[in-house]
Every structure is written in structure tokens, then in C-alpha cells.
Chains A and B, each alone.
Chain A
Amino acid sequence: MTEQQPLLKMQGITKEYFGNRVLTDVSLDLNRGEVLGLVGENGAGKSTLMNILFGMSVIVQTGGYAGKVYIDGKEVSFQNPFDALKAGIGMVHQEFSLIPGFTATENILLNGEILHDNIVTKLFGPRLKTLDLPEMRAIAAKSIELLGVEISPDTLVAEMPVGHRQFTELAREIHRPEMKVLVLDEPTAVLTESEAEVLLTSLRRLAATGIAIIFITHRLQEILDICDRIVILRDGQVVKEVATRDTDIGQVAELMVGRSVDTKAIATATYDTQQETVLTVGHLWVDMPGETVRDVSFEVHKGEIFGIGGLAGQGKLGIPNGIMGLCPAGGTVILHGKPIHLDDPAAALAAGMAFVSEDRRGVGLLMEEPLDWNIAFTAMQVQNKFLRPLLGGLIKWRDDRAIRKVTREYIEALEIKCTGVEQPAQELSGGNQQKVCLAKAFAVEPDLLFVSEPTRGIDVGAKALVLKALRRYNSENGTTIVMVSSELEELRSICDRIAIIDEGRVAGILPPAATAKEFGMLMIGKLKNLDDKVASHA
């Protein structure tokens, strides 16, 4: 009977990468209309499992997998994503796979366009069929509506804020009528809390129509809110499969990391307002696409951890990118009394600032190069570290031994999971890549460290490690840290003061002990009339 048969059944899945076993005998079932939560730390094998289900080429290229996948009781083995799409599996990736220059409609119906014959097709074949744009727009609008968000079907993806891109990607998957299983890999990681709420609501609506959903996220509360069952992976094995009503967030988190999690372990250091001012930012503007900064002024004191929060697209990410010279910027930035020349990354680095970018893959890492290069490169180029002068300093020879030594130290200190210093950065999982980015910044030994979205796409265990590493670095070396994050709780757990950015301006600066309501009001711009008060506070 089909009623008894699960829609999707994965049995005994085992997979090795480069000699590392990443999945061991993983089995799971999924029924129609069910939402299954898949949780696990970075590197636990969630992404790999989903890549197998979706027939991603990286699986085939690295030698395939062992075990069986059944859909509606029939065994399937997808060689490429097209097979998977045909079988009704849709996937929304951690990284966007949208075409920036196309509109929402064009992206949603890509390769599934509504076509009409015309005179030319009679002569030259089906490649020249006409697009039925009104119809396509209607379909796109319908599937966007199903998600419960407001996105114009004619907006270019390049001009959308990150959250809308995520919805566009989701709309593309659900517009297809044959859709049976929808896989969501960290769909809320780039969304603000309110957007995530909307997404969860629309997912529940989708599940009610009979679509089965596999939901991967690090935000455990979301899993508990929406899923019927939870499968917990640890080190490539299923440690527990449990119905949501029989568990709670503490238990899931504990099973996930295999040790008890205590977020309170991150002690808030006492911060001394009498300390000298390290960084003064005055009337900063930054032209960063999607994150425009209009007029931001603030001061950072020596040894503090200064948080910058706010909703997506309001400009909080533009601040570090502008100060570090990565985006066109203007205004005054004064570090230790000396003005910093903007639009020049070398000057910013030479002045003793370092930056961990929110764009790990794009800016943060040399994906093809080994870890030692990734970690030592900036320090080498900016401060002439890890170099041996030859011929009286005429030639600066790269000291590979020193580079490997420092890399090993950071691998140990930050618990980076890798096969060695020679492993290319692209083979690491997201959380470990983030640790490499941190190590790169630490290797510069900066006076002032900018950290942008340090825990985006990272699980609970690694998150605590990253935050702890930042806190430790702050207290041991007296390094001043400016941390930009979308996750308010994270800012509140580590920062001494938190500035909230709204519409490219500082809406207010609050102590971490302020209530969630106060922060919320600043984020949604309700405290505009208190600007004067805020200015005097800053």
C-alpha cells in the first residue's frame, strides 16, 4: 500500500571524501506532507547527504556512494541534478544559484519557460519559440504569493536584498507541479528574524499541500517550531531520530554537539568606559550594493567589543567594508589619532586593522590554495612576516617552514578539522573555513579587528568556539573588536556595546543588557525621534 510506503527512503548511505569517511550507514524515511528537520554540526555530513539525494556532480566525481535511495518504493540513483529534478526533488542551496542579471520571473521559470510557436519556429525549430511573458509573470507571482512575501516578479535579482533572493530561489523550486520533496539547506541563515518567520509560515503551508520537506538549519528553535520529526547527525552518523513533541531545544543541541552546551559560558568581560578612544568614525558613507551606509558616526574604545546589528540591507555590512577600503567610501575614519585613507585596503591593513569578511568564499579565502597560504598570506604581504631576506633584503623569500608552523598552531588553537596544512580551503566545511578566516586575521595581530557575520552558516558548537576565540583574543591581546552580526543574541552574548543600524544610519547604541524590545524598536526605526538623545549617548 502506498499509504504505508514512505515517499523517500534513504538506506545505509556511506560516503568517503579524499579518504575521509563523512557518512556512515545513514538511513532516513520521509512521508508525504511531513517536515523533517536535519540537524548536525558543521562537517556532520548534512550537506553531503543532501548532495547525494540531489545527484550533485561532486558526489559522482569523488567516487559515488554506497547505500540505496528509494522514491515511492522505487530505487533511484541520480547521476546529475536533472534526474533529481525530474523525479520531483527540489533543493534550495546555502549559496544562491540565481542569475543576477535576470528578473525574479526569469529566474523562477528558468528552463521551464512557457513557450509559444511562431512563424520563425516553423522554419528554424523550437529554439526560437516565443516566451509568454504575461503567463510566466503570473506563474511566478503565484508561487511568490504562496510563500507569503511581496516581491515584484520584475525585480532584477542583482537589485534584491539577500532575503528576497532566498525567497526567489524557493519560489523557483515550488512552481513546478511535480515537486514532491523539497530540500532546504540553511534557508534562514541569510534571513532576518522577521523574514525567517514568514518563511516558516510558508513552509507549513507547503507541507499542508502534500510536499515533503527536509529542513536543514542551525537555528534549533526553527526546527522545533516547524518540524514533525528531527534527525540528528553527528560525525556522519545518525545519533538520534525523534518526534519533535518528545524533545526540547536543550536535548537536540546536546545530542548534536555530543556535549552539554552552555551559552552562558561566554563570560561578559567588564568594560571600562574610561579607556582611550581607538577608532573614531565620522559621517561615514559607503557605496556597497544592497548595504548602503549613509551617515554613520561612532567611537570605539580600547579593548572593547563593539557590536553592530540591524536588519538585512540596512547598511551594517557596509561599515567594515567601507573602512577597510573594499567598497567606495567617504567621511572620516581616525585610528589612534591618525586619519585612515579610505578606498585603500593596504593603508587600512598597514594601520593595524584586520577584517574577517562576511563573504567567506568570495573575499575571505583562496579556495584552491592550501590552508597555510590562506592563513599566512595577509600577514606576509602587509607586514613582511614569514619572509626571509636574501641578498641583503633585495629578495624577500617565502619562509614555507614558518608558514606551516604558524598554520599548525592555529589549526590546533581553533580546532580546525582538516587533513593537514596542505589541504585546499575548498575541501573544508563552512565552519572550518570560517575558522581559517579568523586565523588569517589573527595572524596579522591587529590592533582593531573587524569581524563580519562570524557565525553565518555555522552550527551551535562551532559558533560557541568562534565567539569564545574572539572573546579570548580580545582579553588576552587587548585587541579591540568590532563585530557585525545579524544575530542579536550573539551580539548580546559577547559585546560591550551594540549599535543598531537602520537605513544607513546609527539608530542607537545600547548596552547588551538592554531588553530585546528596546533593540527591536531601534531595528524597525521606531526610535527616530530619539536621535538627539542617542547622539549624546554616542
Chain B
Amino acid sequence: MHRLRQFIDRAGWPRIIIGLVLLSLFLVAPHWGVRIDSSLMDTIIRFGMNGVMVLAMIPMVQAGCGLNFGLPLGIIAGLLGATMSIELGLVGVAGFAGAIGIAVSIACLFGWGYGVLLNHVKGDEMMIATYVGFSSVSFMSIMWMVLPYHSPTMIWGYSGQGLRTTVSVDGFWSKILDNLLAIRIGPNFTFPTGTILFFALMAWLMWAFFHTKTGTAMTAVGSNPDYARASGISVDRMRTTSVILSTVYGAIGILLYEQSYGFISLYNGPFFMALPAVAAVLIGGASVNKANITNVIIGTILFQGILTMAPSVINAAIHSDAAEVVRLIVSNGMIVYALTRVTRKSR
């Protein structure tokens, strides 16, 4: 009984409840003919697709900049990397590596400007970040039309200029990580080893960063900026570094997502990416000023698990074809729930 209580204290009720819901969805799934193995595979793939974007939340939270609602900025850097890589005609590993290289350089630049902006609005970071995300999406909606792209796989067929809303990466680097070292177990289950390994690498890098001198300073800045300043740390520089890191992770995260999804979603695509990532890390037990890798892993598994299972089980149960509607209700419901759980650990 004592150990049970300890476990509940450590895990927290929200995670236990969502975990139990997810478990029960898996348990009742076969009853309505939903295959567990393919559902499990979907969950794992979605975890891999989204994981790095959730990891992007950690640096800014740790540095006291709050949750990165401006994630679309990083995603746009990723989209620019992806489209430029295709424009240059790079395919396969070179294409994906090229996309990452370009995306990271652009993300550093974007992140620096974004960080400088956030340093001017201390205390209101999250609201300003939301506007940064929204306005950058709108601005890029214009830019996708006017930037001089020429690759026929990406531009509108009828006018010959401007990028399409969705661009297929088939023939470039579609599923390049999903299929890397993939382990096939049975007809309906394939483990996307490459994607998961890539996530693990990114998570390890994040963990390692927070074990360095700079990472330690960043955590201290988030914990007590006055203490950090009295120890000779430049608070603004640490905060900018955290924003750059977060933006870079957002850029890499969307590339991981696209290779698995098979398409690049331009225009309003990035609009809807920040909230699920924010919700996942909150459901994982992070607060506005403390987050760690465990929060990310647990939160992403729970959030993406529910998002995979709930629509398919509910559709099968009520014999409807409203998968998209149910998915939206579930995902936005989870986001609302997560945002009500926002806590600020007391100082």
C-alpha cells in the first residue's frame, strides 16, 4: 500500500489515468476487430515522428522561457531545409543529411532573432511566442508562393511557380529512417528502428547537453535568474541559447516527421504542430519551468497512443466513418486538458 502510494506520488494522477485509458483501449480493441499489432506499430511510429519536436520543449522550459509555443518557427526552418534539399536534387541519405544541414543553419539564425525578441518581453514569453509562431506561418505562406523554387516535383503544375501545399518526398528520402534496420515481426508489425534510434540519439544529445557547463548554467537561469547573474552568468545569452536549441530541435523534428509521413506540409502545415508538442510534454509531467527527457518520452507515448487508438476503436465501436472528426476531438481535448494542468513550481 505504501509503495503504491509512493508510485502514485511519483507518477502523478494525470499520467496514471491516461495510462489506464490507453491500456483499456488496447484491451477492448480486439473486441471490435481492431488489430493490436498494427495499432501498436502506429503508436510507435507516431512516437518516433513527434518525439523530437516534443524534445524541443525542454531547453526553453529549463531556461525559464516557458513552453515553446513558437515551435512553428523551427518547423519552418525545417521546411526550408527540406524544400531546398529537394530543389538541389539531393536524394537518399545525401538528401536527408542536406535537409538537416540547411535546416539547422536556418534554425540557428531564426532562433537567435526569436531569442533576442523573447529577452525583451520577459514574463510574457509564452504569449509572444504564440504570436511569433502564428505570424511566421502567415509570412511564410506568402514566401512559399514567391520564393524562386523550380523543381517540378514541388511547384504548382498549372502556373509553373509557387510551391504546392503538400510536396511528396517519395523518391527523395521518404521513410529513409523508418526503413533503416527495420525489424519485421509478423505481417502487421514492423519496428521503425532507424526513427527510434534517431530519436534516442537526439534525446541523448539533449541529456548530454544538460550535463555540460553551459547546460547547468541554463538550468540555473531558469531556476533563479538572480542567482545565475550573481554567479557571473549572462542570463540573456543563456536564454537566447536555449531558444536557438529549441528551434533547431523543432527543425530536425519536422524532418523526422516528414520522412515518416512521406510529405512536406507547407503553408498552414506548421500551424498545428506546436500545441500537440506542448500538450505531450505537459501530459508527461513537465511544468512551465521544469522538464526532462522522461517527461517527453512518457508524454509522447501517452498522447500519441491515445491519438492513435481512440479514433480507430471508437469508429469501429460505433460503425461510423468519422475518424478525422474523432481524432480532432480527442487531440484537442487532450490539449485542453494538458493546458489546464500547467503548473509553475514554486520558487
Contacts and interface: CB of A to CB of B under 8 A. Distances in A.
A180 B229 CA distance: 44
Contacts of A367: 223-224, 347
A388 to B, nearest CB: 10
B212 A349 contact: no
A54 B233 CA distance: 39
Contacts of B233: 346, 381
Interface in A329-353: 345-350
Contacts of B212: 395-398
Interface stretch (A68-76, A83-91, A233-241, A356-364): A356-364
Interface residues of B, number: 22
Most buried by A among B215, B217, B232: B232
B312 to A, nearest CB: 41
A387 B231 CA distance: 16
B227 A363 contact: yes
Interface stretch (A120-128, A372-380, A506-514): A372-380
Contact of B220 (A362, A363, A366, A400): A366
Given A345-B230, A381-B233, A368 B220 contact: no
A397 B211 contact: yes
A387 B214 CA distance: 11
A345 B229 contact: yes
Contacts of B223: 366-369
Nearest to B230: A363
A357 B231 CA distance: 11
B213 A350 contact: no
B232 A381 contact: yes
B231 A349 contact: yes
A269 B232 CA distance: 33
B219 A369 contact: yes
Contact of A382 (B211, B229, B231): B231
A384 interface: yes
Interface string B220-258: 100110110111111000000000000000000000000
B271 to A, nearest CB: 34
Nearest to A345: B232
A18 B229 CA distance: 31
B290 interface: yes
B216 interface: yes
Q: How large is the interface on A (under 10, 10 to 19, 20 to 34, 35 or more residues)?
A: 20 to 34
B231 A398 contact: no
A346 B232 contact: yes
Interface in A375-410: 377-378, 380-382, 384, 387, 395-398, 400
Most buried by B among A365, A368, A369: A368
Contacts of A357: 230
A397 B211 CA distance: 6
Contact of B226 (A324, A355, A363, A400): A363
Contacts of A368: 223, 290, 345, 347
Interface string B194-223: 000000000000000001111111011001
Contacts of A382: 231-232
B2 to A, nearest CB: 12
A248 B223 CA distance: 45
B232 A378 contact: yes
Nearest to A324: B230
Given A396-B212, A398-B212, A381 B217 contact: yes
A426 to B, nearest CB: 8
Nearest to A357: B230
Contacts of A162: none
A350 B345 CA distance: 32
B216 A398 contact: yes
B21 to A, nearest CB: 27
A211 B227 CA distance: 41
Given A368-B347, A397-B212, A355 B217 contact: no
A384 B213 CA distance: 8
B224 A365 contact: yes
B230 A377 contact: no
A369 B234 contact: no
Contacts of B232: 345-350, 378, 381-382
A365 B228 CA distance: 9
A465 interface: no
Contacts of A380: 213, 216
A378 B224 CA distance: 13
Given A349-B232, A368-B290, A369-B219, A381 B213 contact: yes
A326 interface: yes
A373 B231 contact: no
Given A387-B213, A396-B213, A398-B213, A366 B224 contact: yes
A482 to B, nearest CB: 16
Contacts of A365: 224, 227
B230 A398 contact: no
B99 to A, nearest CB: 26
A363 B223 CA distance: 11
B213 A373 contact: no
Contacts of B213: 380-381, 384, 387, 396, 398
A34 to B, nearest CB: 35
Contacts of A363: 224, 226-227, 230
Nearest to A403: B216
Contacts of B229: 326, 345
A314 B220 CA distance: 32
Contacts of A397: 211-212
A317 to B, nearest CB: 14
Given A326-B230, A346-B232, A373 B345 contact: no
A41 B344 CA distance: 32
Given A345-B229, A367-B223, 4 more contacts: A349-B232, A364-B227, A368-B345, A373-B216
28 contacts: A324-B230, A345-B230, A346-B234, A349-B231, A350-B232, A355-B230, A363-B224, A363-B227, A364-B227, A366-B220, A366-B224, A367-B223, A367-B347, A368-B345, A368-B347, A369-B220, A369-B223, A377-B216, A378-B231, A380-B216, A381-B213, A381-B216, A381-B231, A382-B231, A384-B213, A387-B213, A398-B213, A398-B215
For the complex of A and B, 6 pairs with smallest distance between CB atoms = A346-B232, A396-B213, A378-B231, A349-B232, A363-B226, A366-B223
